[in-house]
Amino acid sequence: MTSFNDLKSLYEDGYRCIYHDCTNSNHTIYLKNFDNENSQALEIEVNDENEFSQFQNYMNDLKMS
């Protein structure tokens, strides 16, 4: 399982959320790195509701800065 710190680290490496979805209490976050030509989308599953909320708050804080 991917932790909030892992997601935050990917964000610090240039990945950005392009889509997120929740099915059966399982969150999937699609990240893409726009900083390089060979960017790829990553699918990350987060099973813990608290960690998904932390990641949403982290993304919202970045948008406001």
CA angle 9, 3, 41 (to 5 degrees): 60
What pLDDT digit, counting tens, does each position of 30-54 carry? 888 888 866 766 667 666 777 778 8
**23-33 mean pLDDT:** 78
Give the position of tokens 């099915």.
23
Global pTM value: 0.68
* Token digits of residue 39: 């960017």
Helix and strand element counts for the chain (H, E): 2, 3
Phi-psi region of 24 (alpha: psi -120 to 50; beta: other; left: phi over 0): left
